[in-house]
Amino acid sequence: MPQDPASAALARLHPAPAAWEPLPGGRTNRLWRIGPLVLKRHDPAAVSPLFPNDPLAEARALTLFAPHGLAPRLRAAGEDWLIYEHVEGTPWRGDPAPVARMLHRLHSTPVPDGTFRPLPNGSAALLAHAASFAPPGLTPPPPDPQLPPVPPRPVHADPVPGNILATAEGPLLIDWQCPGLGDPAEDLATLISPAMMWLYTGAKPPEGWAEAILAAYPDAATADRTRTLLPLYHWRIRAHCAWKAARGDADYATALHIT
């Protein structure tokens, strides 16, 4: 019986026998460490209106951002899987300043137009996107501050603590299955989110968390815009949690009430 493409690629890249070690942390896909490599298999059913699950976009992101020290190095990819080099590190915890600076490096990296999906950009588009999947009964949205779109920049779109590794060279982003081109405030708001922090660590952010991130971000204008847009981003994350809870995910039912 022929090997599936991912196993065939693994055999080519690492022919020596090695144990498959399941890697923890992912809420969406399955990952294994095999020697110096990581195999990631994407679940096509694990999508939501806020977080797509696109292996081809992830492969493009690793190719573009690994040379900048922002992502692992891609070795092979298929329609629903990819293989990248394992990076020694632990889930990031602690001082958010290095992560804020790392996100600024990502947001400052030039990429070709059309590389990733366009993200809602500007306060009206952000509210409209959240309203498109907010279940009935969710608290009303905050007022629109009427901020216009900004020039789109590369955005990870899911920089939660579980997707940031603390390495010897500094923080590094993994789980690139939903990148986009949009407002850098999206990444900052997701990193700040108490609900997303709880989902990945089981704890709320420490006091002063949001301001520590925004104070460390090198672009003051983006930090100020994030402060204005935070209520909108937080409402969209509440809509996401309610959407997931309505489909039976108990963790998101709890996260819905974490602010």
**CATH number where 213 lies:** 1.10.510.10
The length of the chain in residues reads 259
Dist CA 137 CA 40 (whole Å): 37
Number of structural domains (the chain) is: 2
Domain that holds residue 78: 5-85
pLDDT the model gives residue 94: 87
**CATH number where 12 lies:** 3.30.200.20
Report pTM. Answer: 0.95
- Classify 25 in phi/psi space as left (phi over 0), alpha (psi -120 to 50) or beta: left
Of the candidates 106, 163, 143, which has an alpha carbon nearest to the alpha carbon of residue 232? 143
Residue 220 and residue 117 share a domain = yes
Residue 58 and residue 147 share a domain = no
pLDDT in tens, the chain (259 residues): 357 999 999 999 998 888 999 997 667 899 999 999 999 999 988 899 999 999 999 999 999 999 999 999 999 999 999 999 999 999 998 899 999 999 999 999 999 999 999 999 999 999 999 999 999 999 999 999 999 999 999 999 999 999 999 999 999 999 999 999 999 999 999 999 999 999 999 999 999 999 999 999 999 999 999 999 999 999 999 999 999 999 999 999 999 999 7
pLDDT the model gives residue 26: 66
Of the candidates 156, 194, 148, 135, which has an alpha carbon nearest to the alpha carbon of residue 68? 156
Residue 148 and residue 214 share a domain = yes
Residue 117 and residue 234 share a domain = yes
Last residue of a domain, which of 44, 62, 85?
Answer: 85
pLDDT the model gives residue 1: 37
Phi, psi at 201, each rounded to 5°: -125, -15
Last residue of a domain, which of 85, 108, 125?
Answer: 85
Residue 244 and residue 145 share a domain = yes
